[in-house]
Amino acid sequence: MHVTSASTKGRAIGLALVVAMFGSLLAAPASAPSTDMVDVIVRTVEGASIASTIEQMGGTVTGTMTAIDSITAQVPASSIGRLESQPGVMSVTQNSSVNLSGGGWDGGKDVTNLAEVANVTGAGSAWDNGATGNGVTVALIDSGVTPVEGLTTPGKIINGPDLSFDSQNAGMQNLDAYGHGTHMAGIIAGRASGLGQVSSHLKMKNFLGVAPDASILNVKVGAANGAVDVSQVLAGINWVIEHRNDNGMNVRVLNLSFGTNSSQAYIIDPLSYAVQVAWKKGIVVVVAAGNDANGSALRSPATNPYVIAVGADATGGTTRTNDDYIPDWSNCGTNTRSVDVVAPGKTIASLRVPGSYADVNYPSARLDETLFKGSGTSQAAAVVSGVAALILDSHPEYTPDQVKKVIKGGATSLGGITPKCQGSGLINAFLSTTSSSPGTAIQQGWTQAKGTGSLEAARGSDHLADNGVVLEGEIDIFGQVFASPAWAGSTWSGSTWSGGNWNGSTWSGSTWSGSTWSGSTWSGSTWSGSTWSGSTWSGATWNGSTWSGSTWSGSTWSGSTWSGKNWTGLTWDHGKRIR
Protein backbone atom coordinates (compact mmCIF):
# COMPACT_ATOMS: atom_id res chain seq x y z
CA MET A 1 0.00 0.00 0.00
CA HIS A 2 1.11 3.55 -0.53
CA VAL A 3 -0.50 6.82 0.30
CA THR A 4 0.02 9.84 -1.89
CA SER A 5 -0.09 13.39 -0.71
CA ALA A 6 -1.31 16.61 -2.28
CA SER A 7 0.68 19.79 -2.36
CA THR A 8 -1.49 22.77 -3.19
CA LYS A 9 -1.49 26.38 -4.17
CA GLY A 10 -4.92 27.67 -3.13
CA ARG A 11 -6.80 24.45 -3.81
CA ALA A 12 -5.43 21.64 -5.96
CA ILE A 13 -7.14 19.02 -8.02
CA GLY A 14 -6.58 15.64 -6.43
CA LEU A 15 -6.97 13.15 -9.22
CA ALA A 16 -7.61 10.10 -7.13
CA LEU A 17 -10.43 9.37 -9.49
CA VAL A 18 -13.18 7.35 -8.17
CA VAL A 19 -14.73 5.61 -10.98
CA ALA A 20 -17.33 3.55 -9.38
CA MET A 21 -19.94 6.20 -9.70
CA PHE A 22 -19.06 6.94 -13.25
CA GLY A 23 -17.01 4.49 -15.18
CA SER A 24 -14.86 1.48 -15.30
CA LEU A 25 -11.20 1.60 -14.44
CA LEU A 26 -8.97 -1.39 -14.54
CA ALA A 27 -5.67 -0.61 -12.90
CA ALA A 28 -2.69 -2.59 -11.78
CA PRO A 29 -1.16 -2.41 -8.32
CA ALA A 30 0.25 1.03 -7.75
CA SER A 31 3.97 1.16 -7.23
CA ALA A 32 5.44 3.55 -4.72
CA PRO A 33 7.28 6.48 -6.24
CA SER A 34 10.99 6.81 -5.76
CA THR A 35 12.29 9.07 -3.06
CA ASP A 36 13.38 11.60 -5.69
CA MET A 37 10.78 11.59 -8.47
CA VAL A 38 7.03 11.86 -7.99
CA ASP A 39 4.03 11.84 -10.32
CA VAL A 40 2.03 15.07 -10.28
CA ILE A 41 -0.92 16.73 -11.99
CA VAL A 42 -0.25 20.40 -12.73
CA ARG A 43 -3.28 22.53 -13.40
CA THR A 44 -2.62 25.81 -15.21
CA VAL A 45 -4.56 28.89 -16.19
CA GLU A 46 -5.89 28.65 -19.73
CA GLY A 47 -3.16 29.14 -22.33
CA ALA A 48 -0.25 28.93 -19.88
CA SER A 49 2.78 26.83 -20.84
CA ILE A 50 4.74 25.17 -18.08
CA ALA A 51 6.47 22.29 -19.90
CA SER A 52 9.84 24.02 -20.28
CA THR A 53 9.85 25.00 -16.60
CA ILE A 54 9.22 21.39 -15.58
CA GLU A 55 12.10 20.24 -17.75
CA GLN A 56 14.40 22.92 -16.29
CA MET A 57 13.56 21.57 -12.84
CA GLY A 58 14.65 18.09 -13.92
CA GLY A 59 11.16 16.79 -14.61
CA THR A 60 9.39 15.21 -17.58
CA VAL A 61 5.94 15.95 -18.98
CA THR A 62 4.07 12.66 -19.35
CA GLY A 63 0.65 13.72 -20.65
CA THR A 64 -1.79 16.53 -21.38
CA MET A 65 -5.30 16.69 -19.95
CA THR A 66 -6.84 19.30 -22.20
CA ALA A 67 -10.30 18.92 -20.68
CA ILE A 68 -9.14 20.44 -17.42
CA ASP A 69 -6.15 22.55 -18.53
CA SER A 70 -3.73 20.21 -16.81
CA ILE A 71 -0.65 18.16 -17.55
CA THR A 72 0.79 15.11 -15.88
CA ALA A 73 4.49 15.01 -15.14
CA GLN A 74 7.26 13.39 -13.16
CA VAL A 75 9.24 15.91 -11.12
CA PRO A 76 11.77 15.83 -8.30
CA ALA A 77 9.88 15.86 -5.00
CA SER A 78 11.99 18.79 -3.85
CA SER A 79 10.76 20.93 -6.77
CA ILE A 80 7.02 20.86 -6.00
CA GLY A 81 7.11 24.02 -3.91
CA ARG A 82 8.92 25.96 -6.65
CA LEU A 83 6.59 24.58 -9.30
CA GLU A 84 3.57 25.77 -7.34
CA SER A 85 4.87 29.31 -7.30
CA GLN A 86 5.39 29.58 -11.06
CA PRO A 87 3.26 32.08 -13.01
CA GLY A 88 0.24 30.41 -14.57
CA VAL A 89 0.24 27.43 -12.20
CA MET A 90 -3.03 27.03 -10.29
CA SER A 91 -2.25 23.83 -8.44
CA VAL A 92 0.15 20.91 -8.18
CA THR A 93 -1.19 17.59 -6.90
CA GLN A 94 0.85 14.47 -6.33
CA ASN A 95 -0.85 11.55 -8.04
CA SER A 96 -0.89 7.81 -7.56
CA SER A 97 0.82 5.65 -10.13
CA VAL A 98 -1.91 3.75 -11.94
CA ASN A 99 -1.30 1.40 -14.83
CA LEU A 100 -3.59 -0.72 -16.95
CA SER A 101 -3.69 -4.40 -16.38
CA GLY A 102 -5.66 -7.16 -18.05
CA GLY A 103 -5.63 -9.31 -14.93
CA GLY A 104 -9.01 -10.58 -13.85
CA TRP A 105 -10.77 -9.72 -17.10
CA ASP A 106 -11.14 -11.45 -20.45
CA GLY A 107 -7.70 -10.79 -21.80
CA GLY A 108 -8.46 -7.16 -22.60
CA LYS A 109 -9.18 -7.73 -26.30
CA ASP A 110 -12.96 -8.14 -26.43
CA VAL A 111 -15.18 -5.24 -27.40
CA THR A 112 -18.97 -5.07 -27.35
CA ASN A 113 -20.15 -2.24 -29.56
CA LEU A 114 -23.59 -0.69 -29.21
CA ALA A 115 -24.89 -2.31 -32.38
CA GLU A 116 -24.23 -5.64 -30.71
CA VAL A 117 -25.93 -4.41 -27.55
CA ALA A 118 -28.95 -3.51 -29.69
CA ASN A 119 -28.96 -7.03 -31.11
CA VAL A 120 -28.56 -8.81 -27.80
CA THR A 121 -31.17 -6.75 -25.96
CA GLY A 122 -33.75 -6.53 -28.73
CA ALA A 123 -33.42 -2.75 -28.87
CA GLY A 124 -32.91 -2.89 -32.65
CA SER A 125 -36.22 -4.71 -33.07
CA ALA A 126 -37.89 -2.16 -30.80
CA TRP A 127 -36.56 0.62 -33.09
CA ASP A 128 -38.01 -1.17 -36.10
CA ASN A 129 -41.31 -1.22 -34.25
CA GLY A 130 -41.20 2.55 -33.73
CA ALA A 131 -39.81 2.83 -30.19
CA THR A 132 -36.72 5.07 -30.16
CA GLY A 133 -37.08 7.04 -26.92
CA ASN A 134 -38.56 10.07 -28.65
CA GLY A 135 -40.07 12.56 -26.20
CA VAL A 136 -38.44 10.98 -23.14
CA THR A 137 -35.78 12.75 -21.06
CA VAL A 138 -33.34 10.61 -19.10
CA ALA A 139 -31.72 12.38 -16.13
CA LEU A 140 -28.06 11.41 -15.73
CA ILE A 141 -26.53 12.29 -12.36
CA ASP A 142 -22.86 11.69 -13.02
CA SER A 143 -19.54 13.38 -13.80
CA GLY A 144 -21.06 15.67 -16.44
CA VAL A 145 -21.47 15.30 -20.19
CA THR A 146 -19.20 16.74 -22.86
CA PRO A 147 -20.94 17.34 -26.23
CA VAL A 148 -18.65 15.16 -28.32
CA GLU A 149 -19.73 13.71 -31.65
CA GLY A 150 -22.65 11.41 -30.97
CA LEU A 151 -24.25 13.84 -28.51
CA THR A 152 -24.57 16.94 -30.70
CA THR A 153 -28.07 16.44 -32.10
CA PRO A 154 -30.11 19.56 -31.23
CA GLY A 155 -31.85 19.03 -27.90
CA LYS A 156 -29.88 15.88 -27.14
CA ILE A 157 -28.15 17.26 -24.05
CA ILE A 158 -29.97 19.55 -21.60
CA ASN A 159 -27.70 20.99 -18.94
CA GLY A 160 -29.17 21.03 -15.48
CA PRO A 161 -27.27 22.36 -12.49
CA ASP A 162 -23.58 21.70 -11.96
CA LEU A 163 -23.50 20.73 -8.28
CA SER A 164 -19.87 19.62 -8.40
CA PHE A 165 -16.80 21.39 -7.06
CA ASP A 166 -15.97 22.19 -10.70
CA SER A 167 -18.97 24.52 -10.83
CA GLN A 168 -16.84 27.38 -9.54
CA ASN A 169 -14.77 27.28 -12.74
CA ALA A 170 -16.85 28.65 -15.62
CA GLY A 171 -14.77 26.76 -18.16
CA MET A 172 -15.61 23.41 -16.58
CA GLN A 173 -19.28 23.81 -15.72
CA ASN A 174 -21.39 20.84 -16.85
CA LEU A 175 -18.47 19.31 -18.79
CA ASP A 176 -17.13 15.82 -18.17
CA ALA A 177 -13.46 16.15 -17.33
CA TYR A 178 -13.37 12.60 -16.03
CA GLY A 179 -14.91 10.74 -18.96
CA HIS A 180 -17.59 8.61 -17.32
CA GLY A 181 -20.80 10.60 -17.68
CA THR A 182 -20.23 11.00 -21.41
CA HIS A 183 -19.68 7.26 -21.74
CA MET A 184 -23.03 6.64 -20.01
CA ALA A 185 -24.82 9.27 -22.10
CA GLY A 186 -23.59 7.59 -25.29
CA ILE A 187 -24.91 4.21 -24.19
CA ILE A 188 -28.28 5.63 -23.21
CA ALA A 189 -29.04 7.97 -26.09
CA GLY A 190 -26.07 8.58 -28.41
CA ARG A 191 -26.68 9.14 -32.11
CA ALA A 192 -24.14 9.67 -34.90
CA SER A 193 -23.29 8.18 -38.26
CA GLY A 194 -20.06 6.53 -39.34
CA LEU A 195 -18.52 5.81 -35.93
CA GLY A 196 -17.78 2.18 -36.75
CA GLN A 197 -20.66 0.46 -34.98
CA VAL A 198 -21.10 -2.20 -37.62
CA SER A 199 -23.82 -4.82 -37.33
CA SER A 200 -24.71 -7.26 -40.08
CA HIS A 201 -28.07 -7.86 -38.42
CA LEU A 202 -29.04 -4.20 -38.36
CA LYS A 203 -27.13 -3.45 -41.59
CA MET A 204 -25.90 -0.14 -40.28
CA LYS A 205 -22.67 1.67 -39.65
CA ASN A 206 -23.83 4.13 -37.05
CA PHE A 207 -23.35 4.88 -33.40
CA LEU A 208 -26.75 4.52 -31.77
CA GLY A 209 -27.44 4.38 -28.07
CA VAL A 210 -30.20 2.14 -26.78
CA ALA A 211 -32.74 5.00 -27.00
CA PRO A 212 -31.22 7.13 -29.79
CA ASP A 213 -34.02 9.72 -29.86
CA ALA A 214 -34.20 10.30 -26.10
CA SER A 215 -32.75 13.43 -24.48
CA ILE A 216 -30.24 13.53 -21.63
CA LEU A 217 -30.63 15.86 -18.66
CA ASN A 218 -27.04 16.40 -17.48
CA VAL A 219 -26.81 16.91 -13.71
CA LYS A 220 -23.16 17.02 -12.75
CA VAL A 221 -22.10 16.08 -9.23
CA GLY A 222 -18.63 14.56 -9.74
CA ALA A 223 -15.66 16.88 -10.14
CA ALA A 224 -12.70 16.32 -12.44
CA ASN A 225 -10.96 14.49 -9.62
CA GLY A 226 -13.98 12.37 -8.73
CA ALA A 227 -14.67 14.31 -5.53
CA VAL A 228 -18.31 14.15 -4.47
CA ASP A 229 -20.27 13.79 -1.27
CA VAL A 230 -23.60 12.06 -0.72
CA SER A 231 -25.11 15.45 0.11
CA GLN A 232 -24.36 16.63 -3.45
CA VAL A 233 -26.01 13.54 -4.90
CA LEU A 234 -29.07 14.13 -2.71
CA ALA A 235 -29.23 17.71 -3.97
CA GLY A 236 -29.01 16.43 -7.55
CA ILE A 237 -31.85 13.94 -7.10
CA ASN A 238 -33.96 16.60 -5.38
CA TRP A 239 -33.36 19.02 -8.25
CA VAL A 240 -34.43 16.44 -10.82
CA ILE A 241 -37.64 15.74 -8.89
CA GLU A 242 -38.50 19.43 -8.60
CA HIS A 243 -37.67 20.39 -12.19
CA ARG A 244 -38.61 17.25 -14.13
CA ASN A 245 -41.13 19.08 -16.31
CA ASP A 246 -39.36 22.44 -16.74
CA ASN A 247 -39.00 24.01 -20.18
CA GLY A 248 -40.57 21.16 -22.10
CA MET A 249 -38.56 18.41 -20.39
CA ASN A 250 -40.21 15.09 -19.72
CA VAL A 251 -37.93 13.42 -17.19
CA ARG A 252 -39.24 9.89 -16.88
CA VAL A 253 -35.99 8.01 -16.20
CA LEU A 254 -33.13 8.64 -13.75
CA ASN A 255 -29.82 6.81 -14.24
CA LEU A 256 -27.61 6.38 -11.17
CA SER A 257 -24.37 4.55 -11.90
CA PHE A 258 -23.07 4.77 -8.36
CA GLY A 259 -23.56 3.45 -4.86
CA THR A 260 -22.23 3.51 -1.33
CA ASN A 261 -21.73 0.80 1.26
CA SER A 262 -24.24 2.48 3.56
CA SER A 263 -24.46 0.85 6.96
CA GLN A 264 -28.18 1.41 7.43
CA ALA A 265 -31.39 -0.14 6.15
CA TYR A 266 -32.99 1.22 3.01
CA ILE A 267 -36.03 2.26 5.03
CA ILE A 268 -34.14 5.01 6.85
CA ASP A 269 -31.22 5.75 4.49
CA PRO A 270 -31.53 9.30 3.04
CA LEU A 271 -30.14 8.27 -0.36
CA SER A 272 -32.58 5.38 -0.59
CA TYR A 273 -35.38 7.71 0.38
CA ALA A 274 -34.44 10.23 -2.31
CA VAL A 275 -34.70 7.64 -5.10
CA GLN A 276 -38.01 6.41 -3.75
CA VAL A 277 -39.39 9.96 -3.84
CA ALA A 278 -38.32 10.17 -7.49
CA TRP A 279 -40.07 6.85 -8.15
CA LYS A 280 -43.28 8.04 -6.49
CA LYS A 281 -43.15 11.21 -8.58
CA GLY A 282 -43.29 9.16 -11.78
CA ILE A 283 -39.57 8.72 -12.55
CA VAL A 284 -38.19 5.25 -13.29
CA VAL A 285 -34.97 5.01 -11.27
CA VAL A 286 -32.28 2.66 -12.61
CA VAL A 287 -29.35 1.93 -10.28
CA ALA A 288 -26.11 -0.02 -10.76
CA ALA A 289 -25.75 -2.99 -8.42
CA GLY A 290 -22.05 -2.52 -7.66
CA ASN A 291 -18.73 -4.05 -8.66
CA ASP A 292 -17.49 -5.64 -5.43
CA ALA A 293 -18.01 -9.34 -6.27
CA ASN A 294 -20.82 -11.79 -6.93
CA GLY A 295 -21.15 -12.54 -3.23
CA SER A 296 -21.56 -8.90 -2.23
CA ALA A 297 -24.73 -7.13 -1.18
CA LEU A 298 -26.12 -4.43 -3.44
CA ARG A 299 -24.83 -0.94 -2.93
CA SER A 300 -27.14 1.85 -1.81
CA PRO A 301 -29.48 3.06 -3.28
CA ALA A 302 -29.92 -0.17 -5.27
CA THR A 303 -30.90 -1.67 -1.92
CA ASN A 304 -34.27 0.09 -2.19
CA PRO A 305 -36.60 -2.61 -3.60
CA TYR A 306 -38.74 -0.12 -5.52
CA VAL A 307 -36.02 0.87 -7.98
CA ILE A 308 -34.52 -1.27 -10.75
CA ALA A 309 -31.21 -2.77 -9.58
CA VAL A 310 -29.03 -3.84 -12.50
CA GLY A 311 -26.24 -6.38 -12.64
CA ALA A 312 -23.82 -6.93 -15.52
CA ASP A 313 -24.02 -9.62 -18.19
CA ALA A 314 -21.14 -10.75 -20.41
CA THR A 315 -22.61 -11.63 -23.80
CA GLY A 316 -19.79 -13.83 -25.05
CA GLY A 317 -19.82 -11.82 -28.28
CA THR A 318 -22.97 -13.50 -29.59
CA THR A 319 -26.73 -12.90 -29.61
CA ARG A 320 -27.25 -16.32 -28.02
CA THR A 321 -27.80 -16.51 -24.28
CA ASN A 322 -26.38 -19.99 -23.70
CA ASP A 323 -22.84 -18.57 -23.64
CA ASP A 324 -23.63 -15.60 -21.39
CA TYR A 325 -22.23 -15.37 -17.89
CA ILE A 326 -22.18 -12.95 -14.96
CA PRO A 327 -18.73 -11.37 -14.49
CA ASP A 328 -17.26 -12.19 -11.11
CA TRP A 329 -17.19 -8.50 -10.14
CA SER A 330 -20.93 -7.87 -10.58
CA ASN A 331 -22.74 -7.67 -7.23
CA CYS A 332 -25.59 -10.18 -6.96
CA GLY A 333 -27.08 -9.07 -3.65
CA THR A 334 -28.59 -11.06 -0.82
CA ASN A 335 -31.53 -13.41 -0.39
CA THR A 336 -33.65 -10.46 0.73
CA ARG A 337 -32.57 -7.99 -1.99
CA SER A 338 -30.83 -9.04 -5.18
CA VAL A 339 -30.58 -7.66 -8.72
CA ASP A 340 -33.80 -7.28 -10.69
CA VAL A 341 -32.29 -7.86 -14.15
CA VAL A 342 -28.95 -7.96 -15.93
CA ALA A 343 -27.80 -6.15 -19.07
CA PRO A 344 -24.62 -6.08 -21.17
CA GLY A 345 -21.93 -4.46 -19.07
CA LYS A 346 -18.63 -5.96 -20.12
CA THR A 347 -16.26 -4.19 -22.53
CA ILE A 348 -18.88 -1.75 -23.80
CA ALA A 349 -17.73 0.72 -26.47
CA SER A 350 -19.13 4.22 -26.05
CA LEU A 351 -18.12 7.83 -26.48
CA ARG A 352 -14.67 9.08 -25.61
CA VAL A 353 -13.77 12.48 -24.15
CA PRO A 354 -10.29 13.33 -25.52
CA GLY A 355 -8.14 14.89 -22.83
CA SER A 356 -10.27 13.62 -19.95
CA TYR A 357 -8.67 11.83 -17.04
CA ALA A 358 -9.76 8.38 -18.20
CA ASP A 359 -8.64 9.08 -21.76
CA VAL A 360 -5.18 10.25 -20.72
CA ASN A 361 -4.53 7.60 -18.10
CA TYR A 362 -6.00 4.60 -19.91
CA PRO A 363 -4.92 4.99 -23.54
CA SER A 364 -5.28 1.30 -24.37
CA ALA A 365 -9.03 1.63 -23.78
CA ARG A 366 -9.22 3.96 -26.78
CA LEU A 367 -10.72 2.25 -29.80
CA ASP A 368 -10.42 5.15 -32.25
CA GLU A 369 -10.77 8.93 -32.24
CA THR A 370 -14.29 8.83 -30.81
CA LEU A 371 -14.78 5.56 -28.92
CA PHE A 372 -13.60 4.19 -25.61
CA LYS A 373 -14.55 0.97 -23.84
CA GLY A 374 -15.30 0.13 -20.25
CA SER A 375 -16.88 -2.56 -18.09
CA GLY A 376 -19.11 -2.45 -15.07
CA THR A 377 -22.61 -2.31 -13.70
CA SER A 378 -22.50 1.40 -14.59
CA GLN A 379 -22.66 0.46 -18.25
CA ALA A 380 -25.32 -2.17 -17.60
CA ALA A 381 -27.49 0.36 -15.78
CA ALA A 382 -27.16 2.78 -18.70
CA VAL A 383 -28.42 0.08 -21.07
CA VAL A 384 -31.49 -0.50 -18.89
CA SER A 385 -32.14 3.26 -18.65
CA GLY A 386 -32.24 3.31 -22.43
CA VAL A 387 -34.69 0.40 -22.48
CA ALA A 388 -36.91 2.21 -19.96
CA ALA A 389 -36.97 5.20 -22.34
CA LEU A 390 -38.04 2.93 -25.21
CA ILE A 391 -40.90 1.54 -23.11
CA LEU A 392 -42.09 5.03 -22.13
CA ASP A 393 -41.93 6.13 -25.76
CA SER A 394 -44.31 3.27 -26.61
CA HIS A 395 -46.38 3.57 -23.44
CA PRO A 396 -46.11 7.08 -21.96
CA GLU A 397 -48.99 6.27 -19.62
CA TYR A 398 -47.01 3.61 -17.75
CA THR A 399 -46.11 4.22 -14.14
CA PRO A 400 -42.62 3.32 -12.86
CA ASP A 401 -44.09 0.17 -11.29
CA GLN A 402 -45.52 -0.85 -14.66
CA VAL A 403 -42.23 -0.16 -16.43
CA LYS A 404 -40.42 -2.32 -13.91
CA LYS A 405 -42.94 -5.11 -14.38
CA VAL A 406 -42.58 -5.25 -18.17
CA ILE A 407 -38.78 -5.02 -17.95
CA LYS A 408 -38.69 -7.98 -15.58
CA GLY A 409 -41.45 -9.79 -17.43
CA GLY A 410 -39.72 -9.45 -20.80
CA ALA A 411 -36.31 -10.60 -19.56
CA THR A 412 -34.82 -13.92 -20.68
CA SER A 413 -33.69 -16.28 -17.94
CA LEU A 414 -30.07 -17.37 -18.35
CA GLY A 415 -29.44 -21.06 -17.89
CA GLY A 416 -27.05 -22.22 -15.20
CA ILE A 417 -27.00 -18.90 -13.35
CA THR A 418 -28.50 -18.49 -9.90
CA PRO A 419 -31.58 -16.24 -9.79
CA LYS A 420 -29.87 -14.07 -7.19
CA CYS A 421 -27.20 -13.10 -9.72
CA GLN A 422 -29.49 -12.49 -12.71
CA GLY A 423 -32.87 -11.58 -11.21
CA SER A 424 -35.45 -12.09 -13.94
CA GLY A 425 -32.66 -12.45 -16.49
CA LEU A 426 -31.24 -10.58 -19.48
CA ILE A 427 -33.42 -7.67 -20.58
CA ASN A 428 -35.32 -7.81 -23.87
CA ALA A 429 -36.39 -4.38 -25.10
CA PHE A 430 -38.63 -5.69 -27.87
CA LEU A 431 -40.66 -7.93 -25.57
CA SER A 432 -40.88 -5.20 -22.93
CA THR A 433 -42.10 -2.56 -25.36
CA THR A 434 -44.67 -4.84 -27.00
CA SER A 435 -45.99 -6.72 -23.97
CA SER A 436 -49.66 -6.54 -23.16
CA SER A 437 -50.68 -3.94 -20.60
CA PRO A 438 -49.23 -4.77 -17.17
CA GLY A 439 -52.46 -3.53 -15.59
CA THR A 440 -53.32 -0.09 -14.34
CA ALA A 441 -53.58 -1.11 -10.71
CA ILE A 442 -50.14 -2.71 -10.34
CA GLN A 443 -48.27 -1.32 -7.38
CA GLN A 444 -45.23 -2.56 -5.50
CA GLY A 445 -46.01 -3.18 -1.87
CA TRP A 446 -42.64 -2.84 -0.17
CA THR A 447 -42.28 -0.91 3.06
CA GLN A 448 -41.67 2.67 2.04
CA ALA A 449 -38.48 4.46 2.97
CA LYS A 450 -38.69 7.31 5.43
CA GLY A 451 -35.29 8.96 5.01
CA THR A 452 -34.92 9.71 8.69
CA GLY A 453 -31.57 7.99 9.08
CA SER A 454 -28.03 9.31 9.16
CA LEU A 455 -26.27 11.21 6.38
CA GLU A 456 -22.98 9.99 7.81
CA ALA A 457 -24.10 6.35 7.65
CA ALA A 458 -25.30 6.92 4.08
CA ARG A 459 -21.71 7.76 3.12
CA GLY A 460 -20.58 4.35 4.25
CA SER A 461 -16.82 4.13 4.57
CA ASP A 462 -15.98 6.82 2.01
CA HIS A 463 -15.44 10.47 2.86
CA LEU A 464 -14.18 13.71 1.43
CA ALA A 465 -11.26 15.35 3.19
CA ASP A 466 -9.67 18.76 2.83
CA ASN A 467 -6.05 18.92 3.98
CA GLY A 468 -6.69 16.18 6.49
CA VAL A 469 -10.04 17.53 7.71
CA VAL A 470 -12.70 14.91 6.98
CA LEU A 471 -16.26 15.77 5.98
CA GLU A 472 -18.20 13.56 8.35
CA GLY A 473 -21.18 13.61 10.62
CA GLU A 474 -24.57 15.15 9.95
CA ILE A 475 -23.36 18.09 7.86
CA ASP A 476 -23.36 18.70 4.12
CA ILE A 477 -20.62 20.11 1.88
CA PHE A 478 -21.35 23.62 3.12
CA GLY A 479 -21.05 22.70 6.76
CA GLN A 480 -24.82 23.02 7.15
CA VAL A 481 -26.48 20.69 9.59
CA PHE A 482 -28.39 18.01 7.70
CA ALA A 483 -31.51 17.22 9.71
CA SER A 484 -32.82 14.20 7.84
CA PRO A 485 -36.38 14.16 9.28
CA ALA A 486 -36.96 17.80 8.26
CA TRP A 487 -35.30 17.22 4.88
CA ALA A 488 -37.43 14.15 4.21
CA GLY A 489 -40.60 16.09 5.00
CA SER A 490 -39.70 18.98 2.70
CA THR A 491 -38.91 16.62 -0.17
CA TRP A 492 -42.39 15.15 -0.12
CA SER A 493 -43.98 18.59 0.04
CA GLY A 494 -42.11 19.76 -3.04
CA SER A 495 -40.36 22.61 -1.24
CA THR A 496 -36.82 21.26 -1.38
CA TRP A 497 -35.69 23.88 -3.87
CA SER A 498 -38.27 26.50 -2.93
CA GLY A 499 -36.86 29.97 -3.49
CA GLY A 500 -33.58 28.57 -4.78
CA ASN A 501 -32.59 27.06 -1.46
CA TRP A 502 -31.51 23.55 -0.59
CA ASN A 503 -30.83 22.60 3.01
CA GLY A 504 -30.15 26.23 3.88
CA SER A 505 -27.74 26.92 1.00
CA THR A 506 -28.67 29.29 -1.83
CA TRP A 507 -28.71 28.29 -5.48
CA SER A 508 -28.44 31.26 -7.84
CA GLY A 509 -29.48 29.38 -10.99
CA SER A 510 -26.06 28.31 -12.17
CA THR A 511 -23.81 28.17 -9.12
CA TRP A 512 -23.99 27.88 -5.37
CA SER A 513 -23.95 30.90 -3.09
CA GLY A 514 -22.82 33.67 -5.42
CA SER A 515 -20.41 31.49 -7.39
CA THR A 516 -18.16 30.64 -4.46
CA TRP A 517 -17.91 28.17 -1.65
CA SER A 518 -16.56 30.94 0.53
CA GLY A 519 -17.75 30.90 4.10
CA SER A 520 -18.80 27.28 4.03
CA THR A 521 -17.07 25.19 6.64
CA TRP A 522 -16.97 21.76 8.09
CA SER A 523 -15.05 20.77 11.17
CA GLY A 524 -13.37 24.18 11.18
CA SER A 525 -12.05 23.85 7.63
CA THR A 526 -13.13 26.65 5.29
CA TRP A 527 -13.89 25.93 1.63
CA SER A 528 -13.07 28.87 -0.62
CA GLY A 529 -11.40 27.41 -3.68
CA SER A 530 -12.54 26.33 -7.11
CA THR A 531 -11.73 22.65 -6.86
CA TRP A 532 -11.40 19.91 -4.28
CA SER A 533 -7.99 19.33 -2.79
CA GLY A 534 -6.20 16.91 -0.55
CA SER A 535 -7.48 13.86 -2.39
CA THR A 536 -5.12 10.96 -1.84
CA TRP A 537 -5.25 7.25 -2.37
CA SER A 538 -4.83 4.76 0.41
CA GLY A 539 -4.48 1.16 -0.56
CA ALA A 540 -4.61 2.13 -4.23
CA THR A 541 -4.30 -1.38 -5.58
CA TRP A 542 -6.46 -2.93 -8.25
CA ASN A 543 -6.37 -6.68 -7.88
CA GLY A 544 -7.95 -7.90 -11.08
CA SER A 545 -11.40 -6.40 -10.97
CA THR A 546 -11.57 -4.98 -7.46
CA TRP A 547 -9.51 -2.88 -5.15
CA SER A 548 -7.06 -5.02 -3.25
CA GLY A 549 -9.10 -7.06 -0.83
CA SER A 550 -12.25 -5.41 -2.24
CA THR A 551 -11.68 -2.49 0.08
CA TRP A 552 -9.86 0.79 0.42
CA SER A 553 -7.25 0.36 3.12
CA GLY A 554 -9.48 -1.68 5.36
CA SER A 555 -12.73 -0.33 3.93
CA THR A 556 -11.90 3.29 4.61
CA TRP A 557 -10.50 6.28 2.79
CA SER A 558 -7.46 8.09 3.97
CA GLY A 559 -8.27 11.61 2.84
CA SER A 560 -9.92 10.67 -0.42
CA THR A 561 -12.94 11.00 -2.63
CA TRP A 562 -15.26 8.12 -3.36
CA SER A 563 -13.85 4.64 -3.57
CA GLY A 564 -13.42 2.62 -6.73
CA LYS A 565 -16.59 0.71 -5.92
CA ASN A 566 -18.95 3.65 -5.58
CA TRP A 567 -18.93 4.77 -9.17
CA THR A 568 -20.12 1.32 -10.04
CA GLY A 569 -18.59 0.13 -13.24
CA LEU A 570 -15.22 1.69 -13.42
CA THR A 571 -13.01 -0.62 -15.31
CA TRP A 572 -11.65 0.78 -18.53
CA ASP A 573 -10.44 -2.26 -20.39
CA HIS A 574 -7.66 -2.80 -22.84
CA GLY A 575 -8.82 -2.83 -26.42
CA LYS A 576 -7.59 -2.16 -29.92
CA ARG A 577 -10.43 -3.16 -32.22
CA ILE A 578 -14.16 -3.37 -32.68
CA ARG A 579 -15.50 -6.64 -33.94
Active site residues: 142, 180, 378
Return the SS3 of 216: strand
Identify residue 101 by its one-letter amino acid code.
Answer: S
In three state form, how does the secondary structure of 507-551 look? ECCCCEHHHCCCCEEECCEEECCCCCCCCCCCCCCEECCEEHHHC
CB distance 300 to 259 below 8 Å: yes
Task: Report the DSSP pairing between strands 341-344 and 308-313.
Answer: parallel
CB distance 143 to 181 below 8 Å: yes
- CA nearest to 172, candidates 154, 142, 146, 148: 146
Distance CA 75, CA 57 (A): 7
CA 274 from chain centre, in angstroms, equals: 17
Half-sphere exposure of residue 281, counting CA atoms within 13 Å on the CB side? Answer: 26
CB-based contacts of 459: which residues, under 8 Å, 6+ apart?
229, 230, 260, 262, 472
Distance CA 451, CA 267 (A): 7
Distance CA 230, CA 445 (A): 27
CB distance 448 to 276 below 8 Å: yes
CB distance 240 to 251 below 8 Å: yes
- CA nearest to 383, candidates 118, 96, 147: 118
